[in-house]
Copies of this chain bind each other. A is one copy, B any other.
Amino acid sequence: MTLPDNAKIMSPQQLRQRIRTGQHTGNTSGYSEGYVQCNMVILPKDWANDFLQFCQANPKPCPLIAMGQPGEFNLADLGIDIDVRSDIPSYRIFRDGEFSEEVTDISDHWQDDLVVFMLGCSFSFEEALQADGLEVRNVTEGCNVPMYRTNIDCKPAGRFSGTTVVSMRPFKAADAIRAVQICTRFPSVHGAPIHLGDPSQIGISDINTTDFGDAVTINEGELPVFWACGVTPQVALEQAKPPFCITHSPGCMLVTDLPNSRLAVM
Taking Cβ atoms with an 8 Å cutoff, the residues of A that contact B are: 172-174, 176-177, 180-181, 184, 192-198, 201, 221, 223, 266
Contact = CB atoms under 8 A, between A and B. Distances in A.
A194 B174 contact: yes
Contact of A177 (B173, B196, B221): B196
A169 to B, nearest CB: 14
A208 to B, nearest CB: 19
Contact of A184 (B172, B181, B221): B181
Given A197-B223, A221-B198, A192 B173 contact: no
A94 to B, nearest CB: 32
A205 to B, nearest CB: 16
26 contacts: A172-B201, A173-B195, A173-B196, A173-B197, A173-B198, A174-B194, A174-B195, A176-B196, A177-B180, A177-B192, A177-B193, A177-B195, A177-B196, A180-B180, A180-B181, A180-B184, A180-B192, A181-B181, A181-B184, A181-B192, A184-B184, A196-B223, A197-B197, A197-B223, A198-B221, A266-B266
B221 A201 contact: yes
Nearest to A172: B201
B221 A194 contact: no
